[in-house]
Chain A
């Protein structure tokens, strides 16, 4: 049931090397040294997983390839804004990324499908310990891991879950939920981070405070609140789909997606959200939730262009997107 609501789970840790200024104060030579040190630490780390990391070179990447990495939540928008002196180390299955010289020297991120905070944190923790054994991290007994921005002091951890909350959104409860959550040290945002509108009723829930609360407590707190939100969402869904109008909207959404010849990203995400709700409520039986999650990832503008392998105008993208969706659903 959780996976009907929780799309994915992510944990990121911010770490810095003691003997180098933070990246924005660090010259090119220093950045290159940091990149090499982290790469070496990973390569020589005493763990099987460490050896499979791939070094991603941004020099020959098109802009759409870079943006596509952002759309898939593998790197931050800040990271691709200027990749000079930066590096990305990646591992697939499980998905682990190390952004080097972004805001901090190291941003370690683990992301997985579904609701699995403990597992995702354990892996991030393991890789962190591995790096800690070989690198001299900036750490203070009182302030914890030292970071460029004081909002990340302490554990340097941001744990988050991505949630699909169409019924709560429909009920108009989201703004009340957001303000209540902020009192509990939890932030809720739209799909693409701060300030963005919640397209397709997809929200990201994450811990806000990192100093004075242990990783375990922060994760437990996030887990409890996620579970409560999931329960609320499930209850609201049951209520919602009793109405013929809501069921009609779901089935019409599927109809449009299966037949449209051109479709904008925004419209598609909205309709897919309705269909996803339909599948979870048992109204639509021949499509899986995984399929819808995959479509939501694949139809993003840059990712679409990377798949097709050429730049496209917005109009061309809308046609290509409609083709992709029709094929995926029929």
Chain B
């Protein structure tokens, strides 16, 4: 069979796609398949990301509309699903459960590991955030130990260790 795109070479790649619910089938030669991005699953994913995000979400949409708006930016879950763009940081907590399946599909994982921001801790110009976060954690650790909440204490101890390592 000849390639449907160039009509010259022997087709050896069979592509089946469903984009936004439209099913399409092609037979392509190796070169045309590569050119159209099918030699590379991930590259293709990013290119048509907003479409794919739309269809990912399509499968997970609840039967009954949860007409919730993000309290910070006003985006609805449908806005995000439609555009493939998340509105603001708070959208992630507002729509966490709904976003999670597609995040898992993209990364194969849903838990961050790596560098941690010191964000979220109040700080002043004279006192860098890192120090204050460390102090906060140490105070919390003291509290947890006194309350004999050892599970919490172990968690805090690890966090402190990590922070001190990064600071050093």
- Chain A residues close to B by CB (< 8 Å): 16, 18, 20-22, 24-25, 125, 128, 132-133, 136-151, 153-155, 157, 174-175, 178-179, 182, 185, 187-189, 194-195, 197, 208-216
Q: Which 9 A-B pairs have the closest CB atoms?
A: A212-B109, A144-B112, A138-B89, A139-B117, A214-B114, A211-B107, A21-B88, A21-B73, A137-B119
B168 at the interface (CB under 8 A from A): no
> CA of A141 to CA of B93 in the docked complex: distance in angstroms?
11
**Residues in A whose Cβ lies below 8 Å from that of B86:** 22, 146-150
Instruction: Tell whether A136 pairs with B107 under 8 Å between CB atoms, given A151-B49, A154-B114, A188-B40.
Output: no
Q: Which of B31-39, B60-68, B137-145 contacts A (4 or more CB under 8 A)?
A: B31-39
Q: Chain A nearest CB: distance from B47 CB in Å?
A: 5
> CA of A137 to CA of B115 in the docked complex: distance in angstroms?
13
> CA of A228 to CA of B35 in the docked complex: distance in angstroms?
24
> CA of A142 to CA of B110 in the docked complex: distance in angstroms?
7
Interface residues of B in 53-85 (CB under 8 A from A): 53, 72-73, 75, 84-85
Q: Select the residue from A20, A25, A174, A216 with max chain B CB neighbours within 10 A.
A: A25
Residue contact B119 to A208, C-beta cutoff 8 Å: no
Contact with A along B20-49 (1 / 0, CB 8 A): 000000000011011111011111011101
**Residues in A whose Cβ lies below 8 Å from that of B41:** 179, 182
Closest to B33 in A: A175
Instruction: Tell whether A21 pairs with B92 under 8 Å between CB atoms, given A149-B85, A175-B39.
Output: no
**Residues in B whose Cβ lies below 8 Å from that of A145:** 112, 117
Q: Chain B nearest CB: distance from A51 CB in Å?
A: 18
Instruction: Tell whether A211 pairs with B88 under 8 Å between CB atoms, given A145-B117, A178-B39.
Output: no
Residue contact B42 to A143, C-beta cutoff 8 Å: no
Residue contact B85 to A209, C-beta cutoff 8 Å: no
Residue contact A212 to B42, C-beta cutoff 8 Å: no
Q: Select the residue from B42, B46, B102, B109 with max chain A CB neighbours within 10 A.
A: B42
Residue contact A214 to B107, C-beta cutoff 8 Å: no
Residue contact B119 to A187, C-beta cutoff 8 Å: no
**Residues in B whose Cβ lies below 8 Å from that of A212:** 107-113
B165 at the interface (CB under 8 A from A): no
Residue contact B30 to A175, C-beta cutoff 8 Å: yes
Chain B interface category by residue count: 35 or more
B146 at the interface (CB under 8 A from A): no
B3 at the interface (CB under 8 A from A): no
Instruction: Tell whether A125 pairs with B115 under 8 Å between CB atoms, given A175-B39, A178-B39, A213-B109.
Output: yes
Q: A147-B86, A195-B37, A212-B112 are in contact. List 6 more A-B contacts (CB 8 A).
A: A133-B130, A140-B112, A143-B110, A175-B34, A178-B40, A213-B114
Residue contact A149 to B89, C-beta cutoff 8 Å: no
B103 at the interface (CB under 8 A from A): yes
Residue contact B92 to A25, C-beta cutoff 8 Å: no
Residue contact B107 to A154, C-beta cutoff 8 Å: yes
**Residues in A whose Cβ lies below 8 Å from that of B111:** 142, 211-212
Residue contact A141 to B112, C-beta cutoff 8 Å: yes
Residue contact B87 to A22, C-beta cutoff 8 Å: yes
B6 at the interface (CB under 8 A from A): no
Q: Chain A nearest CB: distance from B109 CB in Å?
A: 3
Instruction: Tell whether A140 pairs with B107 under 8 Å between CB atoms, given A153-B112, A213-B114.
Output: no
Q: Chain B nearest CB: distance from A14 CB in Å?
A: 12
**Residues in B whose Cβ lies below 8 Å from that of A150:** 53, 86, 99, 102-103, 106
Q: Chain A nearest CB: distance from B74 CB in Å?
A: 8
**Residues in A whose Cβ lies below 8 Å from that of B49:** 149, 151
Residue contact B113 to A213, C-beta cutoff 8 Å: yes
Per a CB cutoff under 8 Å, which of A133, A208, A211, A214 touches B110?
A: A211
Instruction: Tell whether A21 pairs with B72 under 8 Å between CB atoms, given A150-B102, A178-B39, A194-B47.
Output: yes
Instruction: Tell whether A151 pairs with B106 under 8 Å between CB atoms, given A182-B41, A195-B47, A212-B111.
Output: yes
**Residues in A whose Cβ lies below 8 Å from that of B72:** 21
> CA of A147 to CA of B128 in the docked complex: distance in angstroms?
25
> CA of A24 to CA of B85 in the docked complex: distance in angstroms?
9
> CA of A210 to CA of B114 in the docked complex: distance in angstroms?
10
**Residues in A whose Cβ lies below 8 Å from that of B53:** 150
Contact with A along B145-158 (1 / 0, CB 8 A): 00000000000000
Residue contact B42 to A132, C-beta cutoff 8 Å: no
Per a CB cutoff under 8 Å, which of A136, A155, A175, A189 touches B112?
A: A155
Per a CB cutoff under 8 Å, which of A16, A208, A213 touches B89?
A: A16
> CA of A25 to CA of B75 in the docked complex: distance in angstroms?
9
